[in-house]
Structure 1
Amino acid sequence: MSDSEDSPLQALKAAHSKEKKELQAKITALKKSVPNNDKKKKKEITSEIEKLEKDLKDKHAKELEELELKFEVKINEAGDAKHDTQSNGEIEEKVSKVSKKQKRLEKKAADSKRREEAEAEDEAAAATSRATHESESIKEALEKRNLKLYDIAPDGDCLYNAIAHQLSNHSKRILSGANLRAMAADYMKKNPDEFSPFLTDADGEMLNDKKYKEYIQKVEAPSAQGGEWGGDAEIRAISCSCSKRIEVIQPNGQVIVFGEDLKSNDPIVLTYHRHAYALGEHYNSTVSAAAN
């Protein structure tokens, strides 16, 4: 079937062209939404883009095949009306071929859907297993310290809110995640030599002065406004700024300590989670197991 033979084909190709342009615009927006130093988020966005491209390609192929089938049916119907010399058997044979082709397409689509559902179920089961193992490991580590988990909302500001929660408990001053972001940004701004050599952009390159300043701005901004998610660098900055030892319990029970030289009987203790939350990496706070 050529473009000149049937105008619906031209209309469908025009619609496909428009959808491709819209997808490209969406892909560009997704890429721009990824923070420069967030490799995990970049990987997630890359996977999402690949799926979007594949879904659109499959959709276009299916629509073209369906149009081809409709066109063949039209030819058969036209032949039935215009060519009295054509036998009913010949017409039925052509319709049968179209019907078989449609059934093959439907079977292929059904098989593909079943595979995708099975893969999704397997991935969900694996994720649940990883999350359960992680949760049990962290709970065991906390019990040894006579501590229990204190949930922090997984909103992109979890690290700062978790530290703010504990610092507020350790003193009479009520602090917020925004206060901790400002504290980290100020310390990193004043001590670039301590941090810039260990920070990279999305391409793995060290940050120059301009990019380092931009990174600091993202440290200070809340996540809802494009702020950078907190990590090791920001924990170290906060530890140095407030002269407080910070210990982070990992899923395997290992403890990462920031401010090793700071002796404290009352350190800040956080928990780090890789699989327990849909958004990905997450920090929670802790409280005494005796607390209500």
Structure 2
Amino acid sequence: MAETPETAEALQARHRKEQRDLVSRITQKKKSATKKTRKGVNDECERLERELKERQARELAILNGENPDEEPPLEGEELGTSEQETQANGVEKAVENLSISSPHPDTHAQSAPEQNGPKKKPNRAKARLARRAAEYEALAAQAKEEAANMPDLREQERTRMNQHLGRYGLQEKEIRADGHCLYAAVADQMETKGLGLAPRIQPKIIGEGDKTVPSYKKVRYAAADCIQENSGDFAPFMEEPLETYLQKIRETGEWGGHLELTALAKTYGLKINVLHGDGRIEEIGPGDGVKAEEVHEIWLGYYKHSHGLGEHYNSLRKTP
């Protein structure tokens, strides 16, 4: 069954949505850029805008029944054979229609331009390109206006989070958004509370002395080792082989989530409170086998919109 062609209205609606999404994406990228990364971010944003503009112009051309790959003729380029024949026929007809008698003196000035030859035809290819560009600019302007009128999710989340922090007597300790944020936030909480980073299952970090290993990496290895030791509890929730999953935790900047928090709560004997922007608190406990008096409580803040790279965790310290 053939796919139903996209209508002009549907195409324009999709283009506007793509423009809004791109404006939002570029805004987030530029807000999160540093002095060192600003040039690269700007170059990437320009490339994304250019690629979207070219693709949408191509789709508009196809919808209009035009060939998007057709090169516009250069100004002054000779006409093709068919156009030459058409133009010649027009000249012959014009000659046949000429009156034998001399023109009236009053009409001489008006007919003079016609005697100088046929009027130059407009460049239709250039007109098509101009029309496509105008359509794209109109869509871009409309998308930009709609994006500007959309709620600022980042600002809303920050405002709500600050309200909840005050309610629980907490303050943020900003953690670098580099893929290690969950582990770095847990490390900050434990070090601030004087708990140390020695889990029940001692992590085996190969090739590095203990003093040279960053805190977040010790936490990464602690999570990986706990998952490995209790693979029967964790493997059913994985979408890839266990060894591949563990290698990503230990050796890459792969983001952590609920699975890793569960492993850290278990191996460190923690009750991890994760505060969300909507005020919800996600509680992750150490599970069975840990006495209540041995459980230590830590707080993390979870952010969905406030950081350019996506989901993020900060350490939440008690207000002095």
Residues 280 and 110 (structure 1), Cα distance of their counterparts in 2 relative to 1, 3 Å cut: same
What amino acid is aligned across from residue 152 of structure 1 in structure 2? I
Indicate the RMSD between aligned Cα atoms, in angstroms: 3.7
Residues 179 and 120 (structure 1), Cα distance of their counterparts in 2 relative to 1, 3 Å cut: farther
Counterpart check, 1:64 vs 2:78? no
What amino acid is aligned across from residue 276 of structure 1 in structure 2? S
* CA positional deviation for 1:107: 2.8
Aligned residue in 1 for 2:282: 256
Aligned residue in 2 for 1:162: 185
Aligned counterpart for 2:313 among listed residues 272, 283, 286: 283
Q: Deviations over 1:231-257 (max 9, x none)?
A: 000001011111011110112110001
TM-score of the aligned structures, taking structure 1 as reference length:
0.64
Contact 2:265 2:286 in 1 (8 A): no
TM-score of the aligned structures, taking structure 2 as reference length:
0.58
Residues 121 and 289 (structure 1), Cα distance of their counterparts in 2 relative to 1, 3 Å cut: farther
The worse-fitting range, judged by mean Cα deviation, of 182-191 and 107-116 is 107-116
After superposition, residues 80-95 of structure 1 pair within 5 angstroms as 86=91, 91-92=118-119, 95=121
Residues 275 and 104 (structure 1), Cα distance of their counterparts in 2 relative to 1, 3 Å cut: same
Contact 1:76 1:91 in 2 (8 A): no
Aligned length: 222
* CA positional deviation for 1:103: 3.0
In structure 1, list runs of 5 or more residues that go unmatched.
1-47, 201-206
Contact 1:246 1:268 in 2 (8 A): yes
Aligned residue in 1 for 2:138: 114
The worse-fitting range, judged by mean Cα deviation, of 211-220 and 168-177 is 168-177
Residues 123 and 234 (structure 1), Cα distance of their counterparts in 2 relative to 1, 3 Å cut: farther
Contact 1:245 1:267 in 2 (8 A): yes
Partners in 2 of 1:278 and 1:114 — Cα distance? 28
- Considering fraction of residues, name the structure with more helix: 1
Q: Deviations over 1:120-142 (max 9, x none)?
A: 4534653x621222112211111
The worse-fitting range, judged by mean Cα deviation, of 145-154 and 228-237 is 145-154
Over the matched positions of the two proteins, sequence identity in percent amounts to 24
What amino acid is aligned across from residue 251 of structure 2 in structure 1? A
Aligned residue in 1 for 2:247: 217
Contact 2:299 2:315 in 1 (8 A): yes
Counterpart check, 1:180 vs 2:203? no
